[in-house]
């Protein structure tokens, strides 16, 4: 079959960010101010973000990975400990566990949602379990009541990897306020981007204060306070910290986008429903599962391409869509299938069958606030053409 050529003359980039003019102007103001590092814009972003989430404290950092690493540091994870998490996530979620000298323990996922299965997590808990990191996969909140109960009964910590779920709610409660700590991402593909960046959220003041120390080399005072106050810029190194601080340039971008988040989410919701209506009758395409007790952040629109029914394998479909000018993504290759986790921890194919099947079949289609309805209709029309040709 000859490849489809896009008649639109432009490539539909997967995960293209949407930046309002105010964000560009805000960055220009920071550049002109002469203060480019961690300063007053970071403090303002933290305050505004905490208010948006509904949490007492937010600590801006250089990435969601940094936020997760700090979260594990704050609860004292170390060698000999185990932290349970999902194999259906980006490597960072597990890698930070390894960096603490602990063992990442994977548990299988719900085959409908791709989120951690509470029963599988229960079976994975041992006397060495220190924490559970739940991953709100694609923007759908996990079944948090069950995880809160597990954490309380076993006396372990609960951390939310909310990289996909900035705008999400679970039973009326905001994602990021349901566990002991939460980590958010502002990577370029996220609904709010600072280029690179992340946020650690908690209700424990002592944790927030220590995180602010750890993110800046373990110094007793933030750099902008040391150099902006009219006194000798003295400081102490309180512990061996990290270079995890956010800059004012990044914070200015984030602050300018916060007021747009709900409107952008509603726009993605509209595009999501157009996808659903256009794809639900294609054989071998499984559209996302819906739940009534959550507000989905609508971060990733992932379909499942079932090789038993679909005329194309997922990987072949990626290639053909690329030729048609449509960018796609895979979220994710399950972590237990990667060489490192197999060699370091003995994981093998077949250990987490639901995650493995999702890993083999999942395909993320373009979904951003930057897109128009015509973009989604083009993707749908391309897929429907392929399905018609594939049956010939």
Catalytic residues: 190
Residue located via tokens 């896009």: 6
Residue located via tokens 């039973």: 171
Please say whether the beta carbons of 251 and 194 come within 8 A.
yes
Would you state the structure tokens that stand for residue 88, as one six-digit string?
Answer: 């259906």
Edge-to-edge strand list for the sheet holding 198-202: 57-61, 198-202, 181-185, 157-161, 129-135, 82-85, 103-106
């Amino acid at each position: 079959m000859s490849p489809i050529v896009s008649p639109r003359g432009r490539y539909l980039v997967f995960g293209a960010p949407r930046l309002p003019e105010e964000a560009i102007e805000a960055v220009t103001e920071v550049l002109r101010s002469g203060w480019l590092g961690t300063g007053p814009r970071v403090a303002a972003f933290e305050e505004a973000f905490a208010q948006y989430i509904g949490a007492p404290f937010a600590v801006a950092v250089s990435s969601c990975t940094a936020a997760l690493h700090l979260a594990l540091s704050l609860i004292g994870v170390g060698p000999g400990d185990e932290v349970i998490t999902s194999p259906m996530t980006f490597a960072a979620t597990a890698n930070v566990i390894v960096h603490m000298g602990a063992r990442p323990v994977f548990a299988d996922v719900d085959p409908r949602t791709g989120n951690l299965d509470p029963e599988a997590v229960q079976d994975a808990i041992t006397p060495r379990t220190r924490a559970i990191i739940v991953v709100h996969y694609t923007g759908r909140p996990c079944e948090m009541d069950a995880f809160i109960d597990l954490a309380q009964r076993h006396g372990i910590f609960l951390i939310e990897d909310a990289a996909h779920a900035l705008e999400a709610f679970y039973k009326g409660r905001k994602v990021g306020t349901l566990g002991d700590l939460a980590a958010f991402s502002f990577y370029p593909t996220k609904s709010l981007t600072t280029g690179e960046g992340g946020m650690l959220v908690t209700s424990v003041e002592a944790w927030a204060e220590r995180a602010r120390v750890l993110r800046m080399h373990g110094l007793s005072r933030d750099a902008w306070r040391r150099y902006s106050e009219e006194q000798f810029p003295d400081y102490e190194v309180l512990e061996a910290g990290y270079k995890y601080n956010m800059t004012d340039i990044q914070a200015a971008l984030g602050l300018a986008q916060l007021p747009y988040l709900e409107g952008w989410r509603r726009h993605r919701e509209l595009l999501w429903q157009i996808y659903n209506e256009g794809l639900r009758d294609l054989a071998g395409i499984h559209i996302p599962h819906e739940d009534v007790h959550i507000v989905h952040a609508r971060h990733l629109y992932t379909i499942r391409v079932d090789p038993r029914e679909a005329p194309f394998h997922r990987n072949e479909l990626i290639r053909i869509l690329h030729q048609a000018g449509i960018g796609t993504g895979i979220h994710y290759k399950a972590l237990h299938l990667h060489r490192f986790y197999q060699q370091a921890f003995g994981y093998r194919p077949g250990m987490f069958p639901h995650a493995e099947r999702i890993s083999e079949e999942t395909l993320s289609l373009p979904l951003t606030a930057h897109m128009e309805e015509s973009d989604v209709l083009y993707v749908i029309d391309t897929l429907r053409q392929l399905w018609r040709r594939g049956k010939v």
